[in-house]
Chains A and B, each alone.
Chain A
């Protein structure tokens, strides 16, 4: 048996899915968290349940909504579990009536009844059940009430059979009946309505006879049939509403009060900037630098301890070097940044679950519109400060193709958590007293680059045309601590896993390349190593932004393609192999990297922040942009911009350094 879980966007589907299956899929408080269908098994049964992306109707507007429609129409589904948001009954029932037309058995889970009660919305379950002829259960996915009963209902198969009710007027109903006789499909009622609406996806199902019926209707109504159907459907729902729902309107809710401040005409944008500045200041600034140093201390004593242990065991010099100077140096350099990443993940998670993110999209839309983006682009940008891959995927909710493509290409510019170690390391060393400010400045730099690039792209690449912005503003919610901690835990785990797999492997390769020469001689001067010779070939690319030929910086930057944090791992390994010129900081105290000045440090950060993202993100871009050619365009565009900006930063910064 297969159950499909479907409902409006942000109606709590995934929260319910997690309860029903005992899993922990990501939840959030903005429309469009779920962008792909997810499979699970209902607890205590062998029933398969599918969590579908939220939709407002079965006429999709964006890519992720198309997934849901396609699944419902084409796949074999035994039961639909329709989750209805009690606080917006009419809009929810609009989808419900369309689902009923599919002719698949259905149970309605009436969610957020507690919030509706508080707001003075009373729903008469019995009447609603009778009018829709569907089993309805009032639940609270967040407080877990009645979920057990819901599982029982699904298990027993003991639900109403939702025999079809007449929604439309006589002429329409007659037309639907005649069309039903002329088509052959699993969902005759649904298809008939779609044919009358002239839904472009279903025109292939038209026959000459059905076409004649629909044309006849259009002549009789003298209006667009799509509109007639929508009007009739809402009229039918209004009737049900009048019988089953009583609402005490015009109450000042908490959300309204908060919005009076957070969406204030004057204060909204300053508040937003303080919040964003605060997030990056906390994560990348002094606190981040402090925790990184603390962990670094333990890491270096662990490294010393391992070295002496291995030497005591009588391990050969090269194997000691592989473990200590390769594996521990590389992976350890990354793990230093774990505490501050946890802080960043926590803050982003809070932003996602409170409902504030949709508001940011709302009030920044005007600015984004000016450069050809949408307020909705902001959602990928904020998620992108965690990781670009889910961020690029979340751009699916943007329905305008141009805006979506631009957003996908620009999202990697946002410094993701893997770039945070680069920022913390360089800013902490070269701008000691202002490290927080410098770190935050890079985020604002990124925003500037995004606007500039969007402007360039709009001007020369994408033709400007009008687009729409339709977004539901969710209510504010107090975040669920359990979900947030789980979310942070998952991301931290993923980071450690990456460090233990990709970074470890890359570190071993780097260690090998720097320890051996082309003639496979061990124990050589690192300047004679394979790695150095590769770096020397590439050094000229980085000359204009570093002011010197540095093979170490060149090979490290290239490794950013594997993972951005690998840049730091690589630098740590290279530094460990070369002689120390000054005590203290490992990386910048080595002869290979001692050339860095604040100007070249900032330039190097800029290049690594904005150049081509890691392979994972490039893959996501390829998938979401839908063509390899566009992906290459994006990668070349990003790297080009990064190089130009880095060179500019260095040349200007160097000039200032010389004058001072």
Chain B
């Protein structure tokens, strides 16, 4: 049986992949082991303190389209689970 996903509120610390559509969060820590991947995420603007909004979710639940720094970026849930955030709303 699938456990219902927890809902995170303002101030909570969690992984970006746990947020729902429309939620906003601030990046706290980037936990990617793979150097090339981390480099790419940094280059795309996922640095500490940046605000991210969950914009669109693909019809099959993965990947997810996020909005940051005024543009939209698609990421797989797995990669998003490497991004630790603090929920804003």
Q: Which residues of A contact B (CB under 8 A)?
A: 56-57, 59, 61, 87-91, 94, 121, 226-227, 230-231, 234, 247, 259, 263-266, 268-269, 362-363, 365-367, 369, 375, 399, 466, 468-473
Distance, CA A539 to CA B60, complexed state (A): 47
Contact at B70–A88, with CB atoms within 8 Å? yes
Q: Which residues of chain A come closer than 8 Å to B47, judged between CB atoms?
A: 227, 230-231, 234
Contact at A469–B76, with CB atoms within 8 Å? yes
Please report which residues of chain B, range 51-70, place their CB below 8 angstroms from some CB of chain A when the two chains form the complex. 56-63, 65, 69-70
Contact at A88–B75, with CB atoms within 8 Å? no
Contact at B42–A226, with CB atoms within 8 Å? yes
Contact at A91–B71, with CB atoms within 8 Å? yes
Distance between B36 CB and nearest chain A CB, rounded to angstroms: 7
Main secondary structure of the interface of B (DSSP, over half): mixed
Distance, CA A61 to CA B37, complexed state (A): 8
Decide yes or no whether B72 CB sits under 8 A from chain A: yes
Contact at B73–A366, with CB atoms within 8 Å? no
7 CB < 8 A contacts A-B: A87-B71, A91-B44, A94-B45, A363-B59, A365-B63, A366-B60, A469-B79
Contact at A90–B45, with CB atoms within 8 Å? yes
Q: Which residues of B contact A (CB under 8 A)?
A: 30, 34-45, 47-50, 56-63, 65, 69-76, 78-79
Q: Which residues of chain A come closer than 8 Å to B37, judged between CB atoms?
A: 468
Distance between B6 CB and nearest chain A CB, rounded to angstroms: 21
Q: B74: which of A121, A227, A473 is its contact (CB, 8 Å)?
A: A473
Contact at A472–B42, with CB atoms within 8 Å? no
Distance between B40 CB and nearest chain A CB, rounded to angstroms: 5
Distance between A364 CB and nearest chain B CB, rounded to angstroms: 8
Distance between B49 CB and nearest chain A CB, rounded to angstroms: 8
Q: A470: which of B50, B59, B75 is its contact (CB, 8 Å)?
A: B75
Distance between B78 CB and nearest chain A CB, rounded to angstroms: 7
Q: Which residues of chain B come closer than 8 Å to A470, judged between CB atoms?
A: 40-41, 44, 73-75, 79
Nearest A residue to B60, CB-CB: A366
Q: Which residues of chain A come closer than 8 Å to B70, judged between CB atoms?
A: 87-91, 121, 247
Nearest B residue to A224, CB-CB: B38
Query: With A247-B70, A269-B59, A472-B73 as given contacts, are A362 and B65 in contact (CB-CB < 8 Å)?
Result: yes
Contact at A365–B58, with CB atoms within 8 Å? yes
Distance between A203 CB and nearest chain B CB, rounded to angstroms: 13
Contact at A468–B45, with CB atoms within 8 Å? no
Q: Which residues of chain B come closer than 8 Å to A231, judged between CB atoms?
A: 47-49
Distance, CA A365 to CA B78, complexed state (A): 13
Q: Which residues of chain B come closer than 8 Å to A469, judged between CB atoms?
A: 63, 74-76, 79
Nearest B residue to A362, CB-CB: B74
Contact at A363–B73, with CB atoms within 8 Å? no
Residue picked from A269, A399, A469, most chain B C-beta under 10 Å: A469
Contact at A375–B63, with CB atoms within 8 Å? yes
Closest 8 CB pairs of A and B: A88-B71, A230-B42, A57-B43, A366-B60, A90-B69, A268-B59, A473-B72, A363-B58
Q: B79: which of A94, A268, A362, A468 is its contact (CB, 8 Å)?
A: A468
Distance between A397 CB and nearest chain B CB, rounded to angstroms: 13
Nearest B residue to A231, CB-CB: B47
Contact at B74–A234, with CB atoms within 8 Å? no
Query: With A90-B70, A468-B79, A472-B73 as given contacts, are A366 and B44 in contact (CB-CB < 8 Å)?
Result: no
